[in-house]
Structure 1
Amino acid sequence: MPPDQARRARLPLTWILAALAVAALVALALILPDPERPGGSEGSEAPTTPTALPLESTESTTLTVPQDVRIAERSIDLVGGSSYLVTVEVTTEKPEGSAGEAMYMGIGLQCASHDPQADGRSVGGTQNLLDGEQTTFRNQLLLTPEVDARYSCNITASNPYEEVAAAGVTVEINGTWIIDRATGLALETEVDEMLPATVPTGEVQVVLKQTIPLAELTERSDRRLRVLSSLHVTTCTGVNGSREAGRAWCAEEDIDETGSDVIDRLRLEILDSQGAVCDVIADSSSEVQIDRHRHHQLLAAEETAELRDEPCGETLRISRVIENRGLASLVVHSSNTSMIALEVTDG
């Protein structure tokens, strides 16, 4: 066969092989994920559009002892590199005349993400409910994802105990959580550095403290700071319930069955260059009696304070102070205790 005829005979085979190679490349591209595209890997939940904020999730249900319930579950898409305040409020009431002198209740707020670079957080509190007395739990946390991420948040309420006097009692649970983006300074106190701690009878103790250089706040004429704090406490009417960090915080000498009479104070002060207080810009207090029936409680406080145009010092100090008038000592737990300071930039 002449050379030119042989070349023409091989051409169709060359085209077929080229077509097969292109088809294989296309199929491979469809199978493999694009490493440059967010959410390309299996199981990823990267958000497409950030959720409009503030966002509120509310739901009501009933709980019959023993039972755990979960409500107000919702997903939110957050932007990496930003800080978000999440607050939770749960109200409930043990019916008048229902079984048992008191009824345990634990509540929690959980916010979780499948992304390992998005920090999951939880916070809550416990208290024994008394007949006919409405109880409100309040707490808060900061979410600070490093990357854009989808979170799922929910509220839980729990009384898992079967062999208790309140078994079979039904209560209504009303829960709300709210999330909003922090537009200025947002700072959460490292509570583990100071807590847990026991406040003996007759003592006044700073149980949480945070200092903020005023230079870190935005330069504006109407500077304001919002502080939210919750203390999870137990009165030493017995050793039970005071355990944390591997030991009991109520010793024998701390115990008194009458419970604790407490003055709880949230105080914001300006310190001069020597560290002395030169101005008090907020100081609120409340008196709380925690007897053996209530036993443990979540003490919530909030303040919004204005900063003067020309402050007397360079540092702001935020303090949560407990004065225990006795007769039992009081344990302040690190678990479910929080303090968050936020710069108010709106208005």
Structure 2
Amino acid sequence: MSLACSGGDSGEARSISGTQNIIDGESSTLTNQFLLTAKKDGERKCNVLISSPNESAAAVGTTLDADVQWEETPVGQDAKAFSSDERLPMVVSNRARLAAFRGTLKVPKAGDETLKILSTLHFTTCTIVNGSREGGEPLCIPSETDEGGSSFDVDLRVDVLDSEGRVCESLDVFTESTHVDKKTHHQLLSFVKKNQLPAPLCGRTLEFVLAVSNSGPAPLVVHGSSSSFIVVASST
């Protein structure tokens, strides 16, 4: 699945994709997003593409029904897309915990701040080496593969930092536990969360930490090119 938008003469272009193995008889929802900054007025063209890139897959020739929906939502200056290049791709070993996204955002002027957080993480469990490649060599090591797949937790914490950069308050925003088995192999995990910040805030800087804790037995790849993390802050 891929989503791409371009701005014609403005030269603006963004795209993002994601992969998940579809299990016969089961329905799946694949979601992703990006932040496109408009430098000037004009028409933007977007398209959504669903494809099966592996021509040697056992299910080659299989057809499926798809309901495709996409939307664009204007956001103000207080929106930020965190770069996946800073930490991803990465491999989370068995019994390890690593941050997939980590960064800060200045919140708007004093008021009742609301955060809307949109994120997608693209996982590959190291049951086999195939499918773990990104930017070169495969990320799964043959000697560490395990057909048991990966059980893991994803959690998002938001820390409020005071003027000295110290944590003065913490908010647990999101936690989810899941398992990716040998059949699924690839999985997109997406969430949208809307949170009202406590008032008054003890600081004007928010630090976001989206972390992955892997219970194994197989190592877990978190891909970069198809993972996203966007925060939209608004004040009333």
Q: What is the TM-score when the length of structure 1 is the normalising length? A: 0.64
Structural mapping, 1:254-273, within 5 Å: 254-273=144-163
Q: How far off its partner does 1:317 sit?
A: 1.1
Matched, 1:211 2:101: no
Structure 2 residues without counterparts, runs of 5 or longer: none
Q: 1:244-323 to 2 correspondence within 5 Å?
A: 244-323=134-213
Q: How many residues align?
A: 236
Query: In the alignment, which of 29, 33, 39 is matched to residue 136 of structure 1?
Result: 29
What is aligned with 1:225?
115
Task: Kindly state the Cα deviation for residue 172 of structure 1 after the two structures are TM-superposed.
Answer: 0.4
Q: Which residue of 1 aligns with 2:8?
A: 114
Secondary structure at 2:182 match in 1: coil
Residue 162 of structure 1 deviates from its aligned partner by 3.8
Q: Deviations over 1:116-170 (max 9, x none)?
A: x341111121000112221001111111121222111111100144433212322
Contact 1:109–1:153 (CA<8 Å) still a contact in 2?
Answer: yes
Per-residue deviation at 1:316? 0.6
Q: Distance in 2 between matches of 1:334 and 1:242?
A: 11
Q: Establish whether residue 178 from structure 1 lines up as the match of residue 71 from structure 2.
A: yes
TM-score in terms of structure 2 length = 0.93
Worse-superposed segment, 152-161 or 278-287: 278-287
Determine which of 199, 202, 214 is the counterpart of 2:92: 199
Q: Give the fraction of aligned pairs with identical amino acids, expressed as a percent.
A: 37
| DSSP 3-state at the match of 1:128 | coil
Q: Distance in 2 between matches of 1:233 and 1:165?
A: 21
> Does the 8 A contact of 1:281 with 1:305 survive in 2?
no
**What's the offset of the Cα at 1:273?**
4.4
Which of 202, 213, 216 lines up with 1:326 in the alignment? 216
The 3-state SS of whatever aligns with 2:85 is: helix
Alpha-carbon distance in structure 2 between the residues aligned to 1:265 and 1:253: 29
What residue ranges of structure 1 are gaps of 5+ in the alignment?
Answer: 1-106
Q: What letter matches 1:113 in structure 2? A: G
Q: Deviations over 1:48-73 (max 9, x none)?
A: xxxxxxxxxxxxxxxxxxxxxxxxxx
CA contact (8 A) 1:195 1:334 kept: yes
Instruction: Write the distance in 1 (CA, Å) between the matches of 2:41 and 2:131.
Output: 39
Contact 1:262 1:287 survives alignment (8 Å):
yes
Secondary structure of 1:286's counterpart equals strand
Q: Where has structure 1 moved over 6 Å in runs of 4 or more?
A: none
Residue 165 of structure 1: SS of its match in structure 2? coil
Kept in 2: contact 1:118–1:147 (CA 8 A): no
Structural RMSD (CA): 1.8
Q: Does 1:339 align with 2:229?
A: yes
Partners of 2:76 and 2:83 in 1: CA distance: 21
Question: How far apart, in 2, do the equivalents of 1:122 and 1:140 lie?
Answer: 9
Larger Rg: 1 or 2?
1
CA distance in 2: counterparts of 1:290 and 1:155, whole angstroms = 25
Give 3-state SS (helix, strand or coil) of 1:204's partner: strand
Structure-2 separation of matches of 1:248 and 1:341: 31
Amino acid at match of 1:255: T
- Report the Cα distance in structure 2 between the residues aligned to 1:203 and 1:178, rounded to whole angstroms: 36
What is the alpha-carbon distance in structure 2 between the residues aligned to residue 185 and residue 111 of structure 1? 21
Distance verdict in 2 for CA 1:206–1:283, change over 3 Å: same
1:192 is paired with a residue of what secondary structure? helix
Q: Which amino acid aligns with 2:4?
A: Q
Identify which of structures 1 and 2 has the higher relative contact order when contacts are C-alpha pairs closer than 8 Å and 6+ apart.
2
